[in-house]
Amino acid sequence: MLDTHGRKYVQPVIESTAAVLLKWKLSANQVTAIAFVIGVSSGLLIFLNQPVLAVIVLWLSGFLDAVDGTMARKTKPSPWGTVMDITFDRVVEISVILGLAFAFPEAQWVLLLLSCSIIVSMTIFLTVGALSEKQGVKSFYYQAGVAERTEGFILFSLMILFSGQLIWLTLLFFAVELFTAFQRLFEAKRILK
């Protein structure tokens, strides 16, 4: 929801960062890889009990993830870049979940539920994107929902910073993700008839 409706407010900063990185001769795919390495480190930082640093690198990777897409649209988007982007996004999320699971074993069951809801929601998202004839700004149809990347980062940040409430925050994230899955499924039924 925030990605879809709030992007216009941060797009000028994303555009200027993309211009600087292009001037430095970095490609969109290189920035995707940099964002991935930075983002994956968040799980390790969670495990090492560095929650503030984990949140900082998570958000930095998310920002660079937005920048790489803008860079690709300014140059030449590639299908391989799209595959890298979507795959690396999920691996960063897995890193956060694993970092939390290893640091807080009592919450592993609820983190497993969250992982399942993310898998279901992303399966619907990617299948609709592949089957839809609609095209958006991105290289595939982007199916909006209540839980997009920014909402996920907000909830992950709360889970990392307020680990004493990890089970309840994860259940909240699970519920939001499940709601988004059903939201996307109903939209898919409507647009793919």
Question: According to the model, what pLDDT value does residue 143 have?
Answer: 66
The answer to whether the beta carbons of residues 68 and 108 sit under 8 Å apart is: no
Question: According to the model, what pLDDT value does residue 23 have?
Answer: 96
Question: According to the model, what pLDDT value does residue 138 have?
Answer: 56
In degrees and rounded to multiples of 5, residue 85 shows phi and psi of -60, -50
Q: Which residues of 29-59 are buried (b: 16+ CB within 10 A; e: fewer)?
A: bebbbbbbebbbbbbebbbeebbeebbebbb
Question: According to the model, what pLDDT value does residue 25 have?
Answer: 95
Domain boundaries, the chain: 2-191
- Give the CA angle between residues 190, 140, 81 to the nearest 5°: 155
Of 83, 85, 55, the closest CA to residue 67 belongs to: 85
Question: According to the model, what pLDDT value does residue 82 have?
Answer: 87
Question: According to the model, what pLDDT value does residue 21 have?
Answer: 96
Question: According to the model, what pLDDT value does residue 187 have?
Answer: 87
pLDDT tens, the chain, 193 aa long: 666 667 788 889 999 999 999 999 999 999 999 999 999 999 999 999 999 999 999 999 999 999 999 999 999 888 899 899 999 999 999 999 999 999 999 999 999 999 999 999 989 888 888 887 665 555 556 666 777 888 999 999 999 999 999 999 999 999 999 999 999 898 888 888 7
The CATH code for residues 2-191 is 1.20.120.1760
CB atoms under 10 Å from CB of 187, counted, come to 16
Question: According to the model, what pLDDT value does residue 1 have?
Answer: 64
Torsion of CA 24, 39, 11, 114, to 10 degrees: 160
In degrees and rounded to multiples of 5, residue 27 shows phi and psi of -95, 165
DSSP 48: T
